[in-house]
Every structure is written in structure tokens, then in C-alpha cells.
């Protein structure tokens, strides 16, 4: 297991990420869950959740498909320990294993659904990872992705300019550390070139009208806590500017007079 395949391993393993994944699941799942109806999966389906973190969504999938076999993998043993501990009531239908998304160790064409959420923006060579997912799918099986795109967050300007944080900060950090902060918008082309069919892109609208302000603010606070240092170390933005901007974003989200939105792309496609 190397950091090369999980370059944000330090941030992914930080306590702020545990908080973040909890808040993201609360904010996103209510709009995401109905999208699974499209897949028409059999009751006894086999599901693979790649980069499962603390199992927030693996557990929701195990509850949504109580007769399924859900296997959830991650590189970080500490996150898997939290997942096993929190969701032990769902075993053996839900199983957590340490595995690298670049070296999947399952029988080819053995899953009805492969899920991968909030991971592909954080790994190098996402196309290689997607090709691996395709190999795991049964013919006609579905892929369900949340691929982040840091050009899809829109906050009002104040003394600080939030666009600068997302573009000159986060997207530049990812570029400088060998990953793709625009993988959300780039996913269609990747899947098309791999020969995947039935490509859909839906958007979760994570905004201050649809999601509790407190929950939205918790996501931004967790990003600030986990990522400020690494953004400052890898871009031209100073730690002070990054902190001030996150502080303004959190305050605005909590302010009933202000509006903020994160368009979260949910990408689905079928194996031929």
C-alpha cells in the first residue's frame, strides 16, 4: 500500500474527514437514494463500494438492499476499523476489506453495481481506476460515481473571493499533486471512451435551501480543518487567505440572508 495511489491519505485519515463524511452523507443521501431505482437491481445483487471510508454509504446501501452482498474496500485500515465498529450490525451482508482501487482482487465480471463516491478526484490516473471498475461489472451492470469538481461550488463574494479558494486553491492543489479537480465534468468523456453505455449525469443540489445550513457548514468547516495546511503548502495562496475565506464561507452558510450551492455530479453508466 503506497501513498502514490492515495495521495491525500493524511487528509483522508484525519478526524476532520470522519466528520466530513458524516455531514456529506446527511446532506447528499436523501437526493441520491432515489437515483438507485434506475438500476433495477435484483434483491440478491452483489455491490462493490470502492474507497468506502468510514462506511457511511456502504451501510446505507446495505440497508437499501437488505438481501444483497455489499463489499466495501478502502486503503486506510483506520477508516475501515471505524466502519466495522459502527456498522457491525449489518455483517455478514456488509463486509469491509483493505484493498487498493488500482488492484482489485475480485473475480472479473462479478458485481451488479460498483459504487465509488468522493474518491476519483483524489487519485492519479482515474481512467485506469474506471477501467478496473468496468472489469468488475457483470455485462449490463451499473457504475455509480460521485466525482467531485471544484468548479461546481458557488458562494457569494464578500471581503474574500470564494472562487479564488476553489480555483487557485483546491483545483491547483490537486493539479500540483497529480490528481484532477475537474474529474466531475471530465467523467463523461472517460466513460464514453471506455465504451460504457447509458451514461447519465444527475446533480445533487447541495444548497442552503435544500440542506440544513448547519450540516452544509460542517462540511466546509471540516474541509478547512483538514485541508488548509496542504493547500497553503502546494499553491500560491497563504494560510491566512485560505482560513479567512473558509471562515467567510462558513459564516455565510449559517447566515439566513446568504446563499451558497455545491452542485454534486452523480454519474452512472452501464457495462456493455
Ligand X SMILES: C[S@@+](CC[C@H](N)C(=O)[O-])C[C@H]1O[C@@H](n2cnc3c(N)ncnc32)[C@H](O)[C@@H]1O
- Which chain residues interact with ligand X by CB under 6 A? 5-6, 12, 21, 25, 51-53, 56-57, 73-76, 79, 100-102, 117-119, 122-123
Find the helix packing angle between 15-32 and 213-234, rounded to 10°. 130
Q: How far is the CB of 170 from ligand X (least distance, A)?
A: 13
Question: Which region, left, alpha or beta, applies to residue 97 given φ > 0 means left and ψ of -120 to 50 means alpha?
Answer: beta
- Shortest approach of ligand X to residue 73 CB, angstroms? 6
CB of 258 to ligand X, least distance (A): 26
Least Å from the CB of residue 75 to ligand X:
4
Taking the least distance from each CB to ligand X, the nearer of 79 and 245 is 79
Nearer to ligand X, 46 or 144 (CB): 144
| Helix locations, 69-212, DSSP H | 77-86, 126-136, 162-164, 172-176, 183-193
Distance CA(112)–CA(143), nearest Å, equals 9
Burial class (CB in 10 A: 0-12, 13-18, 19+), 46: buried
Q: Which lies closer to ligand X via its Cβ, residue 73 or residue 204? A: 73
Report how far residue 37's alpha carbon sits from residue 47's, in angstroms, rounded to the nearest whole number.
14
Q: How far is the CB of 156 from ligand X (least distance, A)?
A: 26
Q: For ligand X, which is the closer residue by CB, 160 or 166?
A: 166
Q: Which is nearer to ligand X, 142 or 252 (CB)?
A: 142
Amino acid at each position: 500500500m503506497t501513498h502514490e495511489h492515495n495521495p491525500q491519505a493524511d487528509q483522508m485519515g484525519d478526524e476532520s474527514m470522519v466528520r466530513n463524511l458524516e455531514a456529506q452523507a446527511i446532506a447528499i443521501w436523501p437526493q441520491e437514494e432515489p437515483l438507485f431505482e434506475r438500476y433495477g437491481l435484483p434483491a440478491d445483487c452483489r455491490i462493490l463500494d470502492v474507497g468506502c471510508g468510514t462506511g457511511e454509504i456502504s451501510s446505507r446501501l446495505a440497508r437499501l438492499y437488505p438481501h444483497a452482498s455489499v463489499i466495501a474496500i478502502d486503503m486506510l485500515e483506520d477508516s475501515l476499523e471505524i466502519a466495522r465498529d459502527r456498522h457491525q450490525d449489518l455483517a455478514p451482508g456488509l463486509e469491509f476489506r483493505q484493498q487498493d482501487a488500482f488492484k482489485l482482487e475480485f473475480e472479473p465480471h462479478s458485481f451488479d453495481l460498483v459504487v465509488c463516491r468522493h474518491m476519483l478526484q483524489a487519485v492519479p490516473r482515474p481512467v485506469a481506476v474506471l477501467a478496473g471498475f468496468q472489469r468488475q461489472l457483470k455485462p449490463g451492470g451499473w457504475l455509480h460515481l460521485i466525482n467531485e469538481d471544484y468548479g461546481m461550488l458557488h458562494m457569494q463574494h464578500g471581503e474574500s473571493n470564494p472562487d479564488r479558494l476553489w480555483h487557485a486553491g483546491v483545483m491547483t492543489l490537486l493539479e500540483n499533486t497529480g490528481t484532477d479537480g475537474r474529474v466531475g465534468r471530465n467523467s463523461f468523456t472517460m466513460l464514453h471512451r471506455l465504451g460504457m453505455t447509458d451514461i447519465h449525469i444527475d446533480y445533487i443540489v447541495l444548497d442552503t435551501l435544500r440542506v440544513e445550513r448547519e450540516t452544509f457548514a460542517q462540511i466546509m468547516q471540516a474541509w478547512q480543518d483538514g485541508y488548509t495546511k496542504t493547500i497553503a503548502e502546494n499553491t500560491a495562496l497563504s494560510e491566512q487567505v485560505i482560513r479567512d475565506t473558509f471562515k467567510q464561507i462558513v459564516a455565510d452558510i449559517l447566515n439566513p440572508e446568504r446563499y451558497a450551492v455545491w452542485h454534486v455530479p452523480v454519474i452512472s453508466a452501464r457495462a456493455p
